[in-house]
Structure 1
């Protein structure tokens, strides 16, 4: 990937900008397609629509939303880097050679036995029930920190982090976004469990970010509430 020239409109300083690379769930590294020669805009305030951009994976064709590229100039200006719309990226990919392979849907290696839940009486019980469920799905080395860290990550496993919301309010959009960013930074899958369900915008955002959402009742039995969770339940770890 080559850098593109960027000139700060505030001070006139020239920069060589290289877009960040993120991991697609299929394993292919993807980067927002920076638009050479596009108009660079100073960021005066952040909004959800401006802070995210849809990026298409050229290998599997999946569309995901990733942080919009920005550059901090030494003069103090924060610059928003223009990117090519995902629709144009898709057209460009269609005009080129087809991908070398198309990932096939995964299936569970063998039928799993019935899940044996545990009754939830406390918030700690909810975390333990989620840990049992992840082990049942096939995740290895599922561990609980002795005390909840500031990141609010309740469970860690090989290739996965999970948060368990045992409060009486629906899990919020911010909870979904923070968990996803933690998973992105660690290059692992993020999964969310909730006792009270999810706010509508939280569910919609989780669908866009491919974050599996599960809801649990007091019997300790998680149930999938979105497509990523259905897929995880079907395929296992």
Structure 2
């Protein structure tokens, strides 16, 4: 695990920081590459661009958004640890596919029409989402034993999902939590909501490639971002 010396600009205390590694979907542990020798920056105000950094997996070359490395100093300061930037796709002369353009359907066999479940309760919403994941091609989809407190309402072979049945839009924190849970489980994450999504939650999901669906009361999920469109087009 990479470690770098970090000095707090507020109190002058020295630290040794090791960045945490998360599993890439290919299974390889991946961590943001730290920029050795660059001074840490004290966090005064947060913005969306400060929260995430682009990281390329050394094994499969996949690029994803990862949490910006930070350190909490005992003096109370939060320090942002600089990372080495990833070269752009253009600089590497590689073709790039915009994330918001749905891919052609490449499922091995055409799927039959989806049969929805009318939603009257929160349990109905979870049932409808589980049926939809199975329709997309995920196998062995069911409710995990840990229950809703874990933040995971459905789990299948290679997928976990959260189903938000509340009457207000899903928040940024819920989307971040599902994405991190999916990274930790080396699985795809899929989010379902009855009331839509806050603007920053949608921006986060777009940035990390997390599919978002809205459930109407007929129990039919509708994709609301590019990753969800692609999942519907390609299947699991």
**Equivalent pairs, count:** 226
Superposition deviation, residue 29 in structure 1:
5.0
Superposition deviation, residue 66 in structure 1:
0.9
Counterpart for residue 173 of structure 2: 174
Summarize the alignment of residues 210-221 of structure 1 with structure 2, pairs less than 5 Å apart.
210-221=209-220
In 2, Cα distance between equivalents of 1:227 and 1:188:
19
Could you report, residue by residue, the CA deviation over 1:114-157 in whole angstroms, capped at 9, with x for unpaired residues? 11112111111111111111111111111114784312321111
Superposition deviation, residue 185 in structure 1:
2.2
Question: Which 10-residue stretch deviates more, 139-148 or 215-224?
Answer: 139-148
RMSD over aligned Cα atoms: 3.4
Counterpart for residue 196 of structure 2: 197
State the TM-score, normalized to the length of structure 2: 0.78
In 2, Cα distance between equivalents of 1:222 and 1:189:
17
Summarize the alignment of residues 60-99 of structure 1 with structure 2, pairs less than 5 Å apart.
63-71=63-71, 79-86=79-86, 89-90=87-88, 94=92
In 2, Cα distance between equivalents of 1:157 and 1:140:
6
Superposition deviation, residue 216 in structure 1:
1.4
8 Å contact from structure 1 (residues 53, 68) kept in 2: yes
Name stretches of at least 5 consecutive residues in structure 2 with no aligned partner. Answer: 95-102
Question: Which 10-residue stretch deviates more, 54-63 or 177-186?
Answer: 54-63
In 2, Cα distance between equivalents of 1:72 and 1:205:
23
8 Å contact from structure 1 (residues 11, 75) kept in 2: no
In 2, Cα distance between equivalents of 1:46 and 1:133:
37
Question: Which 10-residue stretch deviates more, 63-72 or 129-138?
Answer: 63-72
Change (3 A) 1:131 1:5: closer
**What secondary structure does 1:113 align onto?**
coil
Question: Which 10-residue stretch deviates more, 145-154 or 159-168?
Answer: 145-154
Counterpart for residue 164 of structure 1: 163
In 1, Cα distance between equivalents of 2:198 and 2:70:
30
In 1, Cα distance between equivalents of 2:179 and 2:64:
12
In 1, Cα distance between equivalents of 2:88 and 2:29:
16
Counterpart for residue 101 of structure 1: none
8 Å contact from structure 2 (residues 126, 153) kept in 1: yes
Name stretches of at least 5 consecutive residues in structure 1 with no aligned partner. Answer: 99-103
